[in-house]
Structure formats: structure tokens, C-alpha cells
Structure 1
Amino acid sequence: MILSFAHDDMQGSVAVTVEQVADPTAIGKHPSAAGFPSCTAVVDYPGQGYRALFGWVQLVRSTDNSSGGAGFDMDPLRLFEDSPSPYAFFGVRPTLFDAPSRVERDPLHWTAHSYLARTPLDDDERQVRPLLGFSWGFDIDANRHITLRPVQALAAADWNAHLPYLAASHPGWAFDGWRSSPTESGLR
């Protein structure tokens, strides 16, 4: 799927690919991760330098998370899980990559909400301003079969529903409401 966004009077896009992992070692995972999903979201944006500085905020709801699947938790890169930043990835046109897996293939429902956002550098307050979002995930059934869920564009209401949790989880940051919806410009 290709999603579009606008920033600084320029158009950008994100190409999202979710696929089942055939060779876990090729992506740095244990062989038991075969059949689980991997998601790659690549940012294409004509701006340069600081104008192309973005981050990815990812929240996950799963039946094995802290709420038993009732709510979303932050999904930071494990190396930075104790960081006060809400971003899992941050940089110039950063690529989001995630390959969730479990050693045991017990029944599970797993959903990620992934948001491309920006933080203005000229502001005194650290703010997160969303540009686009998408949902993806997988399920494991009682027969240990893994089914990937299709990528779906998220809307302002999805981001805005996360605002209380984001503010409580990251009190040193301000989270702006989503002011416009992303548009889907094609499928991949």
C-alpha cells in the first residue's frame, strides 16, 4: 500500500509492505520466526535535511500485552524501551521495520498502529505531529496457523483515541491532534 502525506508544502509518500517471513535469519530473527509477519514502511519525500526529519510512533494491542488485548501499549525498539522518547525510529526519511514473533504459537491477536510524525525543531516544547498512519497485524489460531491482516490506512479518530495514553506515557512530550487525513494513492 502507498499512503500520501503533505509537509512543508511538499508531497510525500510511504510504501508499506507486510509479508510472511520466509528466512528469519536474513532479517536478524531466530528460525522460529518463520511464518510470522515483517512490516517495512519506506518514506519517500523530496525535502532535504531537517525538513525530512520524521519519526515513527508505533502502538500495539495484543492479547498477550499488559491489558490482555483491551488496549494499546507503546512498541519501542527494544534497545530504547526505557527511553523517554515516543519514537521507535527517528531520522531523515526513516524506515519503519518490525518483525514481531513469539516462541510459542499460542492463539493470539496482534495489531499495530504505526504513525509517521514530525517534531518541529523551532518549538520550545517537544511535540509530536502526525502525518499519516496505518494498521497491520496478524492472528494465530488454535491450530497454530498464522494469518496476516491487510494493511489499512488509519484516520484522525484513530490517532486521537491514543492521545490520553500517549500523554500519560510520555509526560515530557506534547501530542497534537491529527488535523487532516492521509490519502491512499495506490496498492502494492
Structure 2
Amino acid sequence: MIIPFLRDDMQGSLMVTVERVDDPAAIGKHSSARGFPSCTAVVNFPGRGYRALFGWVQMVRSTDNSSAGSTFDMDPFYLFEDAPSPYAFFGLNPTLFDAPSRDRRDPLNWTAHSYLAWTPMDDTERRVLPLAGFSWGFDIAPDRSITLQPVRTLSPGNWDAHLPYLDTTYPRWSFDTWPS
């Protein structure tokens, strides 16, 4: 899926691919990850230097999370899960990559909301401004089969629904509503 976005009057796009993991070792995963999804979202943007700095905010709702799937939780990159930043990845045109899996194949519903955002460098506060978002995930059925959820573009309302949680979770950051 290709998702367009606009920043500083420049057109960019995300190339999002979700595919079934056939060779877990090729992506650095254990063999138990076979059949689970991997997601890659590549940023294509003509800006350079600081104008190409973006971050990925990803939240997950899963029936095995702290709320048993009733709410979304942050999904930080595990090396930085204790860092006080909402970004799982950040950099120059950063690629989002995620390959969630479970050792056991118990029934499960797992959905991610992944958002490309940016933080202005000239502000006195740390602000997150959303640009584009998509949903993806997987389900494990009682027969242990894994179904990949289709990639769907998210709307401003989806982002805005996460704002109370983001504000509470990252009080040193501010989160803008999705621009119209």
C-alpha cells in the first residue's frame, strides 16, 4: 500500500508491506516466528537533513496486553522501552520494521496503529505532529492458524482517539491533532 502525506508543502509517501514470515532467520527471528507477519514501512520524502527527520509512534491493542485487548498500549522498540519518548524509531526517513510473534499459538487478536510523525526542531517544547497512519496486525484462531489483517489507512479520528493516552503516558511531550 502507498500512503501519501504532506509536510512543509512537500509531498511524501509511505510504502507499506505486510507479509507472512517464511524464513524467520532471514529477519533475525526465532523459528517460532514462522507464519507470523512482518511489517515494513519505507518513507519516501524529498526533504533533506533536518527536514527529513521523522519518527514512528506505534500502539498495539492485543488480547494478551495489560487491558486484555480493550485498549491500546505503546509498542516501543524493546531496546528503548524505558526511554521517555513516544517514538519507537526516529531518524532521517526512518523505516518502520516490526515482526511480532509469540512462542505459543494461543487464540489472540493483535492490531497495531502505526503513525509517521515529526517534531519541530525550533519549538521550545517537544511536540509530535502526525502525518500519516495505518493499521495492521494478525489473529490466531483456536486451531492455531494465523491470519494477517489487511493494511488499512487510519483517519484523523483514529489518531485523535489516542491523544488522552499519549498525553498521560508522555507528559513531557505535547501531541497535536491530525491536521486537516
Task: Report TM bin, short chain.
Answer: over 0.9
* Structure 1 residue 70, shift from structure 2 partner: 0.2
Question: Aligned partner of 2:38: which letter?
Answer: S
Listed as ranges, the gaps of 5+ residues in structure 2 are none
Question: Aligned partner of 2:97: which letter?
Answer: F
Alignment TM-score, normalising by the size of structure 2: 0.99
Aligned residue pair count: 180
Listed as ranges, the gaps of 5+ residues in structure 1 are 181-188
Q: How well do the aligned residues superpose, as a CA RMSD in angstroms?
A: 0.4
Q: Which secondary structure does the structure 2 equivalent of 1:16 belong to?
A: strand
Q: Which secondary structure does the structure 1 equivalent of 2:158 belong to?
A: helix
Task: Tell me what 2:24 maps to.
Answer: 24
1:152-171 equivalences in 2 (<5 Å): 152-171=152-171
Question: Aligned partner of 1:90: which letter?
Answer: F
Is 1:54 the equivalent of 2:54? yes
Stretches of 4+ aligned residues off by more than 4 angstroms: none
Q: Distance between the aligned counterparts of 1:31 and 1:88, measured in 2?
A: 24
Give the fraction of aligned pairs with identical amino acids, expressed as a percent.
71
Task: Tell me what 2:98 maps to.
Answer: 98
Question: Aligned partner of 1:161: which letter?
Answer: A
Question: Aligned partner of 2:177: which letter?
Answer: G
Alignment TM-score, normalising by the size of structure 1: 0.95
Q: Which secondary structure does the structure 2 equivalent of 1:171 belong to?
A: coil
Is 1:107 the equivalent of 2:107? yes
Q: Which secondary structure does the structure 1 equivalent of 2:124 belong to?
A: coil
* Structure 1 residue 9, shift from structure 2 partner: 1.2
* Structure 1 residue 8, shift from structure 2 partner: 1.1
Question: Aligned partner of 1:121: which letter?
Answer: M
Q: Which secondary structure does the structure 2 equivalent of 1:47 belong to?
A: coil
Task: Tell me what 2:37 maps to.
Answer: 37
